[in-house]
Chains A and B, each alone.
Chain A
Amino acid sequence: MPDRSVLLDHITIRFGNFTAVDNANLKINSGEFFSFLGPSGCGKTTMLRCISGFSEPTEGKVLIGGKDMAGVGPNKRPTALIFQHLALFPLMTVAENIAFPLEVRGVSKKERRKKADELLEMIALPGIGDKKPGELSGGQKQRVAIARALAVEPDILLLDEPLSALDLKLRQHMRTELRAIQKQVGVTFIYITHDQGEALTMSDRVAVMSRGVIEQVGEPDRIYNRPRSAFVASFVGENNAVEGIIKGQSGETAALETPMGTFEARVGGGRKYKAGDKALLFVRPEQLIPGESANAFQSVLSRQEFEGATNHVFANTGDQELRISMVNAGLAGSLPGQGETLSLGFRPLNATILPVGHMASEA
C-alpha cells in the first residue's frame, strides 16, 4: 500500500498583504476521508490549490507520501482535483473525458476505451461513454468527474465543493456514494465544503477553518461536542451563546455568572481561567431540557417553528433569546403554548465555556 498521506508543514499563503492561510500545520493520514470546513473566504480553497500544485505556499512545505512537493507542478503530483463546477470537457464524449488522463500519457486508444468502460462500470453508468457531457444529468456529471479523476490513479483525490450545485435529495445520495467510492478505492479524499452536514456525515476527520486559521481538527463528534473555540461552537451546528464572567474553576468545570444566573459548565479546550475573566457559555438547543434540575432557570416561550421530527422553540430570559430543540412527541405529547413560562436546565458536561472570540455570523 503506497503512502497516501499529506503533511502540511507550517503552511502560510499570502497574496500581497492578505494572509489567506496562516500557519496551517496538520497531517492527513493515508486513506482518510478528510474535510476542510469553513465559510466562504476562510482559505480552504487556497489550501486545496496549494495541495494540488496550482499555487505554492509562501512559507512552509507540502509533503505528499513523505515527498516534498515544492516546485512540482499540478500535472506531476499524485493528486487529482474535482472542481466545483466539475470542468468536464464539453467537446469530448464521456469516454474521452474519462480517458483524457490516459490520452495525455500516451496510452493507446483501445486501452483507453477499455479503462473508460471499466470506470463507467464502477460509477454504475455503463453505456453512456458516447454521450456528450451536455446530455447528462447533474448527478451523472458528478460521477463522470469522479471517474475521470480516478483514471489518473491518484493517491490523493481533492474535491472542491463538488456537491454544491446539486439539489438536496441528490446531494444526500451522493454523500453516501462518495463515501462508498472512497472505501472501495482506498484513496485519500480531501474534501472542501462550507456545508457542515456534508463534512460531518462523510469525513473521518474534519478541520474547521476561519479567517485563514485552522481552528480545530478532529473527528466529527468531537468537533460537535467539544468545540475548542467560539467560532467552532457557533459555526458547527446550532448553539446558544451567553456572555458571562468566570466566578471560579475547579478541574474540568467552571462557574460562570451571566445575566440569566450562575451556571456550571465544562471548560472547553482544557483552558485555565481565573475569577473575573470574561467568557462565553455555549449550550446546544437539544441540551436545554425542560424540567432539568441542573443549571435550572426560568424563561418565557416566545415562538415556535415546526419542522417535522423536531420543533424549534424560542424562549426569552431577560434580553437573551434561547433556541431549544424538542423532539416531536406526536399527538400523544403536547407542546407548551406561547407566553407560557418554561423551566429549563442543562447538564454541566453538555455545555461548554469558551474564551470570547469571533463567531460564525461575524466571519
Chain B
Amino acid sequence: MNRHTLFGGAYAIAFFSFLFGPLIIMSMTAFNSSRFPRVSPWECFTTGWFNELFGNARLMEGLLNSVIIGVGVVALAVPIGLAGALALSELPAKLRAALYTVLILPILIPGVVLGISTIVLWGQISRGMGAGFLYNGYFLTIVGQITFVSAYAMLVFIARLQRFDATQTEAALDLGATPGQAFRKILLPFMAPAIGSAAFITLLASFENYNTTVFTVLSESTFTTALASKVRHGTDPSLSALAVIIITITLVGALTNEALQRRKEAEMGGRASRSPLYLNPVTRTLTHPGVVLAILVAVIGGISYAGSQHDSSVCEAGVLQEKLDRQEELRAAQRAKIEAMEAEQEKTLPKSNSAFGGAFGGLGTPAPAPEPAPKPESPSAFGGAFGGITAPKTDE
C-alpha cells in the first residue's frame, strides 16, 4: 500500500466518522438504560426509551399536529411552486430575473420575521372580517410555512424544467392535444420525479421548521416545538430513541428509492432486456422496489417486535442494587471519616467554648463571655451547608 492510498483511507475514515459518528453514538444511547444519554458506562440493554417516547402525550400530540400541518403544506406549496416555476419559464429574461428575486425572497427572510408577520397579518384579517376561525394554529402555521416552503418547491421545479424540451408541448398541441391535455400528458409525467422530490422536501421543511412555527402555532404545538420545549428541561435517551426511528425511516426510504431508480434506469436504457438479474423471474421479483420495501418493513417490524418483548427490569434492578450498595459503601466510609474527625476535635477542644472566642474576646469590653456556639454535629458530607435538613435524619 502506498502512502497516497494510506492517507486517502485515513482521511475517508476520519471524514465518515465525523459525519456519522454522532448519529451512531446517539443511536447507541437509545438502548442504554442510563437516565442520561451516554454510552459509557454501559448499564443495561433496554428498549424502554421507546416506550417512554411513545408514552409522552405532548410529543405524540405534536407529531399528529405536524402531520396535519405537513400534509396541508405539501398540498398547497407543491402546486404553488410548480405554478411559479412555470410562470418563470414563460417570462422574458428581464422580468424573469426580477420575479425570481421576489419569489426567492421568503427563503432569505429570517423565519422569525415571517412567523411574526403572519400572525400580525392574519390577526388583522380575521378581526377585520370577523373571520375568527382563521386565527388558529393550524391555519396560521400552514400559511406561514407556505410563504417560504413553496419557494423550495419552486427551485426543485425550475431545475427540472430547465431540462424540458418546450417543443414537446408544441408537438403535442400540433398533434391535436388541447393545452390541458398537453399539460397532463406531456409536462406532468415529465415533472413527476420533481413533484415527488418537491413533496418530500416540503414535507421535511414543514416538519422540522421551528423559527416560524413557534410563533404561528399559537397555543398548539408541533412535534418540533414540543421537542424543543422538552429539551429545554433537560434531555433523556427517549430523544435518542426518536433519532433511531427517524434514521431507520430515512434508510428504508433511501434504499427503496435506490431500487426504484435502478430499475427505471435499466428499463429506460434497454439494459433490462439483457441483464440476467432482470431475466430471471425470481431475482426480478426480488429486486422490485415494492418487494424491497416489503422485506425491509418486515425485518424492521420483526426487530421491533423482538425488542418490545425484551425485559430489562432484572438487569436494571441489578444495576440499581449495585448503585445502592455503592452508595451505602460510600456512606459508611464517610461516616467513619467523620467519626475520626470528631474524635480528633474532642482532643484539641480549646478552653473557650466559642470557635471565635479568642478572636472577639480581646476586642470587646470586659463583658461576660458570649454563649458558646453550637458544636458542629452533622456527620453528613454537606454538614455545614444543609445541616438543618440532613442533620436530624442522619444523626441518629
Contacts and interface: CB of A to CB of B under 8 A. Distances in A.
Q: Do chains A and B stick together as partners?
A: yes
Interface of A: 52-54, 73-75, 79-81, 83, 85, 87, 89, 91, 100-101, 103-105, 131-132, 134-135, 148-149, 151-152
B171 interface: yes
B43 to A, nearest CB: 56
A91 B174 contact: no
Given A101-B176, A148-B175, A134 B269 contact: yes
Contact of A104 (B167, B168, B181): B181
A75 B167 contact: no
Nearest to A104: B177
B176 A87 contact: no
B270 A134 contact: yes
B177 A81 contact: no
Interface in B222-272: 267-270
A361 to B, nearest CB: 31
A83 B268 CA distance: 23
User: Which of B165, B174, B185, B189 has the largest count of A CB atoms less than 10 A from its CB?
Assistant: B174
Contact of B177 (A53, A75, A79, A132): A75
**Most A-side CB within 10 Å, residue of B168, B189, B267, B269:** B168
A87 B177 contact: no
Contacts of B170: 54, 74, 81, 83, 87
Interface residues of B, number: 21
A87 B269 contact: no
Contacts, number: 66
A100 B167 contact: no
27 contacts: A52-B174, A53-B174, A54-B173, A54-B174, A75-B173, A75-B174, A75-B177, A75-B178, A80-B174, A80-B175, A81-B170, A83-B170, A85-B167, A87-B170, A89-B168, A91-B189, A100-B172, A100-B185, A101-B176, A103-B185, A104-B176, A131-B270, A132-B267, A132-B270, A134-B269, A148-B175, A152-B175
B213 to A, nearest CB: 38
Nearest to B175: A101
Contacts of B177: 75, 100, 104
B83 interface: no
Contacts of B165: 85, 87
B186 interface: yes
B180 to A, nearest CB: 10
B190 interface: yes
Contacts of B174: 52-54, 74-75, 79-81
Contacts of B175: 75, 80, 100-101, 104, 148-149, 151-152
A203 B116 CA distance: 70
Contact of B173 (A74, A134, A148, A151): A74
Nearest to B192: A91
Given A75-B177, A85-B167, 5 more contacts: A85-B165, A89-B171, A100-B177, A104-B178, A135-B270
Contacts of A152: 175-176
Given A74-B173, A74-B174, A100-B172, A83 B185 contact: no
Contacts of A105: 176
Nearest to A91: B189
A134 B172 contact: no
